[in-house]
Amino acid sequence: MDHDKIDRIINKYENDASSLIQVLLEIQSENRWLPKEVLEKVSKKLKVPLSRIQHIATFYKAFSLIPRGRHEIHICMGTACHVRGAPRVLDTVQDLTGIRPGETDLDLKFSLETVNCLGCCALGPVMVVDKKYHGKLVPTKIEDVLKNYD
């Protein structure tokens, strides 16, 4: 990630250590992950111990310490989605992308995660790609959905 961009993000929060989570969220949004050298720079600029930053970055699921794909796939595995076929949806996505939950494909196109609930149980099973909800999903429609993401 561009060091000038990191400086701009940190300066936007006036180098205030209490803005640490916001700074990390903004960097994560720009870069899709938090490399160690970025965390070290944030630590120095905000005067926050690196160990505290690493604790926060590993505690919150919103942060990733490994490269993430350009497109994030989330599949709901909650009860309503599960009984309506979410395991088959997950199996199909895994077959099509070659990745399992928590992984990113080699060309950094897709990252896959499962979630316990997306809050739209009536639409189950639900898959979210880049914050776009695809409900009442059947395995035969998944390839059509994923081909729209390059």
Specify the amino acid at residue 81: C
Q: Output Rg (C-alpha) for the chain, integer angstroms.
A: 18
Q: Which architecture, in CATH terms, is 71-146? A: 3-Layer(aba) Sandwich (3.40)
Q: Write phi, then psi, for 45 (nearest 5 degrees).
A: -65, -40
**In the structure encoding, which two tokens stand for residue 79, read together?**
């009860």
- Alpha-carbon distance 8 to 12, whole Å? 6
Domain boundaries 3-59, corresponding CATH code: 1.10.10
Count CB neighbours of 14 within 10 A: 7
Q: Residues of CATH 1.10.10 domain(s) within the chain?
A: 3-59
pLDDT 10s digits, 80-132:
999 999 999 999 999 999 999 999 999 999 999 999 999 999 999 999 999 99
pLDDT in tens, 40-80: 999 999 999 999 999 999 998 889 999 999 999 999 999 99
